[in-house]
Structure 1
Amino acid sequence: MATIDNLPTLREVIETHQLAAKKSLGQNFLLDLNLTAKIARQAGDLSGSDVLEIGPGPGGLTRGLLAEGARKVLAIEKDARCAPVLEEIAETYPGQLEFIIGDALAVDPLQSLQKPIRVVANLPYNVGTELLVRWLTPKQWPPFWDSLTLMFQKEVALRIVATPGSKAYGRLALLSQWRADVQIMMELPPEAFTPPPKVHSAVVHLKMLPEPRFPANAKVLSRLTAAAFNQRRKMLRASLKGQAPDMEDRLVAAGIKPTQRAEEISLEKFCALAREVEKG
């Protein structure tokens, strides 16, 4: 399939608009419209949802989202060179695409979107993790989004879905799995991109939970997991000793052996510990 609409192929778009990928912007473009449409489908039925896309670049995923029936797409792109390309797509899908040239870390998308909202993006490698953490740690829960369907470096994707006992298990797994169901949907090799990155990539789907999986104070849980995993080789009685004067007693009360290490502790046990520590 050369195209999914009446617009030029992505290679033609890049050549016409001189859109060579910029390393400084973390750009690696997917030029296969079959692939971008497949990624769009990982987000589920889009017909009743608005979609937030970060870093559309030449618009391959944008076109996939619109072709899959998204009610509206808001695309935020830092690279001003992409504006004419996105304008052409907007003309092909009247009233369905709005784009903002700006920094996704500084733009409030909610002024342009109506719930339900799904986030679908081939995230620039240099801001992907930061954006995910922001979306998972709003001041109030539930968040503005129903689901996140995001492409990361495969290493980051594995950290999101990691389970206790694995090297990839850490704060990102706990943060993601505390408030969402997480799943790797597909993997992509370097040669799928232009230019090819040095690493494999993977698409992760996170479905928002109405309430966190286990009760815990978010700030306390964050503080405990930061201390535990910043010294993950140490036993918890050592890495967490500054968190409470009677830390060993609190660990035992939460069902955790003080001699265990952070990577051995499940999300449920970390939440139990957060509740014990919060008692003061």
Structure 2
Amino acid sequence: MSAIDDLPPLRDVIARHDLRAKKQLGQNFLLDLNLTAKIARQAGDLSGTDVLEIGPGPGGLTRGLLAEGARHVLAIEKDARALPALHEIAEAYPGRLTILHGDALAIDPSEHLTAPIRIAANLPYNIGTELLIRWLTPPEWPPFWQSLTLMFQKEVAERIVAKPGSKAYGRLALLAQWRADAQIVMTLPPEAFVPAPKVHSAVVQLTALPQPRYPADPAVLSRVTAAAFNQRRKMLRASLRGLHPDIEAMLLQVEIKPTARAEEIDLARFCALARLLERNPGR
């Protein structure tokens, strides 16, 4: 493994600071600095950019982001054991790394970041999807970030980029693709991590659109997709009947067959139905 900086290999860092991964924190460490640098490059040109990283652990991706030229990295780490290793990285990159000790779900990073901002993280498995949904559902759009470069379990990554007609297609795909371009840019086998998880992982790149792909009220669209996919085996005329007394006629009006099921309907038609329901609330 070639070095990306003058700091020691991650295995040495983990041994010196006794950073054994904790299952309860969703930790699986990626130790190959070539791989972490490759993930950092997937985030795009980082020069002149602040980067938010969640769960840096021993700092492999942190080092990749800094080596790739990030103007400033804000790393939020819940595990106090990792802080000494991260502070060593901060010393090697003076003024370019800020470390916050705490729960990423409870911290507002905005006061520590300056636009333009990208988010890059090997997300802890236990909070990854919740963080993604938060980043995709801010009160105002466009969001504070330009892009997300995030590691997930491969199954979750496939749900984010899924297309209509596939088993993976659901609310997460609709939410992500309504407001962003989403693609899987890397896949990694279990043996790339310590400890090795039971599943493959994948890196998803999401680039924020300046405005949602199709107009729709977020709350109405959320109600429609929740009703549709919470009973995805049912025909839409049944699963959506609680939304409006004339739902079957409304489905036909936006060119959706009432006998269709949720996984058959693309984003454009879900948004069209949401707009129609917003104009005709019914109840």
TM-score (norm 1): 0.99
Q: Please state if 1:62 is matched with 2:62.
A: yes
SS of the equivalent of 1:52 reads: strand
Match of 1:74 in 2: 74
Match of 1:188 in 2: 188
Q: Please state if 1:139 is matched with 2:143.
A: no
Match of 1:32 in 2: 32
Match of 1:22 in 2: 22
CA distance in 2, matches of 1:2, 1:143: 37
Match of 1:85 in 2: 85
Instruction: Give CA deviations for 1:226-267 in whole Å, capped at 9, x if unaligned.
Output: 010000000000000000111011111111010000000000
Q: Which amino acid aligns with 1:107?
A: I
8 Å CA contact 1:2–1:9 kept in 2: the answer is no
Q: Which amino acid aligns with 1:94?
A: P
Match of 1:123 in 2: 123
Q: 1:1-280 alignment to 2 at 5 Å? A: 1-280=1-280
Aligned residues: 280
Q: How large is the Cα RMSD of the aligned pairs?
A: 0.5
SS of the equivalent of 1:100 reads: strand
Q: Which amino acid aligns with 1:128?
A: G
Superposed displacement of residue 194, structure 1: 0.1
SS of the equivalent of 2:150 reads: strand
Which ranges in structure 2 are unaligned for 5 or more consecutive residues?
none
Superposed displacement of residue 3, structure 1: 2.3
Which of structure 1's runs of 4+ aligned residues deviate more than 6 A?
A: none
Superposed displacement of residue 2, structure 1: 3.9
SS of the equivalent of 1:47 reads: coil
TM-score (norm 2): 0.98
CA distance in 2, matches of 1:237, 1:159: 25
SS of the equivalent of 2:185 reads: strand
CA distance in 2, matches of 1:111, 1:272: 37
What is the aligned-residue identity percentage? 75
CA distance in 2, matches of 1:119, 1:69: 14
Superposed displacement of residue 4, structure 1: 1.2
